[in-house]
Amino acid sequence: LKSKKTIKHIAFIMDGNGRWASKRHLPRNLGHKEGIKAMMRTAKACNKLAIPYVSFYAFSTENKNRDKSEVDGLISLMREHLDSIADDLSQFGARLNVIGDISYFDSDLQNKITNVQRSTQNIEDRVVNIALNYGGRDELIYAAQQYKGSKIDRPLCDFLYTAGQPDPDILVRTGGEKRLSNFMLYQLAYTELFFSDTFWPDFSDKELNAIIDEYYNRDRRFGK
């Protein structure tokens, strides 16, 4: 049974950083900083579980509408941590792949993103997608625009940011909300969904393992 359900891709909507910080009377951006630690912990745990594709939703197209100070803070965190994130991932044989419309960011950050991806492009075993200025609807427009000019016999998924990757087997959303908030609208069609009340910075390996155990107990039918 387990082998039939091998996990090829797990995706995370990392929600609850702001509330984690507010609860402690800390600024929201400290919650985001703590969220990066939880992301790296989780990436490592997924690697130990030999899951080849891991995705993290870090900044949505709609998150740009937050207060300028929070958006600026989030972008500073990306600038500050991107190199070390890519470095740490490469330590355990994973390549950082940014998904989303990065043209929104200043050119120095765009270059940083391009460079870290280029410097680790030879790593093939594992991929960690980090979604930055990512929106599922935006991605479908991006895919459709490229599809238009190409042979019509190819599936639309070949043109998504995640082209060539398996669809997520598991989606975990922390922070208590039960919605997708514009994440991987196409890819999540048959994904097993898990919702946790834990605020993302507190997400632990223990909880991850419990989710995975439950996943193995679920019956995936794919409409059959």
Is there a catalytic annotation at residue 15?
Answer: yes
Alpha-carbon separation of residue 129 from 117, 160, 220 (angstroms): 11, 13, 24
Alpha-carbon separation of residue 24 from 66, 90, 203 (angstroms): 21, 33, 16
Count the site residues for Mg ion by CB under 5 A: 1
**β-strands 53-60, 94-99: how paired?**
unpaired
Is there a catalytic annotation at residue 63?
Answer: yes
Which of these ranges, 53-61, 93-101, 144-152, 201-209, lies near ligand IPE under the rule CB under 6 A?
Answer: 53-61
15 lines the binding site for Mg ion (CB under 5 A):
yes
179 lines the binding site for ligand IPE (CB under 6 A):
yes
Q: How far is the CB of 177 from Mg ion (least distance, A)?
A: 7
63, interface contact from Mg ion, ligand IPE, none, CB < 5-8 Å by kind? ligand IPE
- Of the two residues 137 and 179, which places its CB atom closer to ligand IPE in the complex? 179
Q: How far is the CB of 22 from ligand IPE (least distance, A)?
A: 7
User: x/- contact string, 9-48, with ligand IPE (CB under 6 A)?
Assistant: ----xxxxxxx-----------------------------
171, interface contact from Mg ion, ligand IPE, none, CB < 5-8 Å by kind? none
203, interface contact from Mg ion, ligand IPE, none, CB < 5-8 Å by kind? none
220 lines the binding site for ligand IPE (CB under 6 A):
no
- Of the two residues 60 and 120, which places its CB atom closer to ligand IPE in the complex? 60
191 lines the binding site for ligand IPE (CB under 6 A):
no
A 10 A CB-CB count for 179 gives 10
| Identity of the amino acid at 91 | Q
Q: CA 125, 169, 92 angle in degrees (round to 5)?
A: 25
Q: Which residue among the candidates 29, 47, 63, 133 is catalytic per the annotation? A: 63
175 lines the binding site for ligand IPE (CB under 6 A):
yes
195, 136, 39, 116: CA torsion to nearest 10: 170
Catalytic residues: 15, 63
